Structure 1
C-alpha cells in the first residue's frame, strides 16, 4: 500500500515528469475514459507528453472522445507495453487488477499515481489521491486542472462533463452533490463541443437493436429473493450470441431490476465466453453493495458495485443471495428496510 496524498501534492506530482501514461480501468465507462482524456489534454497544454492507453478499445457511445486524438488501444498499438514513461497514472481504477495487462506499466514506472473516488480503492500506487466525497473521478480531475491553473477549452470541458454526468446517471444518483452541479455549470459556461441536448441523447438515450432485445430478456429473466427486495437476472452467453449483442449492450441493464417497486438490491449477471461472469450490483437506499462485492474480490460504491466470478452462475447465485439477505436482515434489525 502506497502513500495517500492531497490534491496539491497530486498536482505537483503530475507536473514533474516530462512524459506520462494514463491508464483507464478495464471494461471502461465514461468516467474513466473521459477523465483520462481531460487530464491528457490539460497536461499537453502544460507541455507534457501524454498517452492514454486502454486495454481493449472503448464502447461506441464514447467514440466522440476518439476525436481528441489522445486514446491508444493496447491491441492496436504494437510495443505499447514496452514503452517507458516517466510516470504511470491509474485513473478511476479501484485496484491493480482493474488495469489488466497494463499493470506492468504502473509496477515498472519510476513514478506511479492512483487517482480515484471509490471507497474500496486498495491504494496500489506509490502515491494515491482517493477522494470518496467526489461524485466521480472526473470531478477530481476538474479540481486538479483548476488548481494547476490550466485553462479549460471545449474539448476538456466536454470530456469532464461526460465523466461527471455518466457517473452520476445524468445527475440522478445519490453521489450527486451541490458541488457536482456547480462544476457542471462551470463546464457549460466554458462551452461544450456540441449542444447539451445532443450530448445527453448520445450518452443516455441512444440504444442499439441488440440492447433493446437484451432489455426484454433481462426483464423476463428476473427472479426475486429476500421477500421481493432482491431482483436478480442472468444473461447467458447463448442469449448474447443469438441476439448478436456485445458487452457494451449490457451497460445499464442492472437498473431494470432496481427500478421495480419494493426492490432494494438489483443484481445483473452476464456470462462471458471465458467461463467468467461479470456481476453488477445496485441498491436504492440502505444496502452497501460495495461491502458485499468485496467479499467476492470486487469493489465499488455503496450504491453501485461489481465483481467478476470464475465459474458457473448456479454456484454463485445462492452464495450471493445469502450475503445480500444477511445484509437485508441487518438493516431490518436497525429499523431500515421497512415498507414505506
Structure 2
C-alpha cells in the first residue's frame, strides 16, 4: 500500500499554539506511504493542523522499512518526526530503540481507542485490508467470490495481480487451498504448511503479475493487463470514486493496523505529539474516513458516520466475518526466512 509521493511542503503562517517555532531545530516533518492515502491524511490532518498551528509542516513519503529511521537515530541526524509504519516494522523498530516510547499521559484521547491501537511505540492510525477485485466487464454473468475463484484460471481466465512479498501472499494461497482463517498461521508455522502455500502459488505462477506498489494493481485492472487482483481496499475505493466500477470482494480479507510513530531523539518531539493528538481527535478522524474508507481505532467515529459509509469500511461487521488478522508476531519470527525462500522461488 505504498507508493512514493513527491516531497511537498505546506507553508501556512497563522498564530502559534502549544509549541514554539524557536524550540524547533527545523520544520516539523510528517512521513507517510504516499498516494491516495497520504492525500487523505493531507485533507483530514496535515493542512488543517498547519493552518491551526501556524507552523511550516513538511511532508515526505517512503516505501516502508526501518533502515532509514535507524540510520537517522544512529547518526543523530534526524530529519523525520512523525512517521506512519506497518505494525510489524513498528514493533521491530521499537525493540531496536529507533522509536520514542510513548507517554500515555500525553495522549488525552487514548481512552477513546481500542486497546490494541495504543502500543508501546505507536498509536493506531487506521485499519486497512487487502481484498480481491476484478474487471466486471470480463466476469459480469458469474463474478468471482473467493480466493479459490482467484485460482480458477479456467473459469476466470486472465492474469492475476499479487503483491511481490510473502506476507499476505502466502496467507492468500492457503485460504485459496481451503484453510480456514483461524487456522492459517497454525499451518503456515510448519514446514509442511509453507510447502503447501508455495505449491498452491505454483499452480498459477504463469498467470501472476507481481506488484510492488498499491497503485499498480488498479492501474493494471484499468488497462486490462490483469483480470483479477489482490489490492488494498482504499485503493479500490479511490478507483471507484474516479468512475472505475471495480468491485470489492470482502470474503477472507486480510486486515491490519498501521501506526503513527515518533522517531527517537527528535528535537521536535513536542510538535510530533501535538500533530499525533490532532490525528487522534474524533472529528478529524471522521473527516479522514469520509475522505478514504479505511477503518479507524477511535471507537467514537463509528457512531459519527452514516451506515452507508460504515458499510464501506474493512471494520464493518459483515466484512469482519471470515476475515484474517495479520499476525505480526508470526512475521517477526519468520519473515527473514520466508522472504529469502519467496524471492528465490519467484526468480526460478
TM-score by length of 1: 0.33
Which protein, 1 or 2, shows the higher relative CO under an 8 Å CA cutoff with sep ≥ 6?
Answer: 2
TM-score by length of 2: 0.32
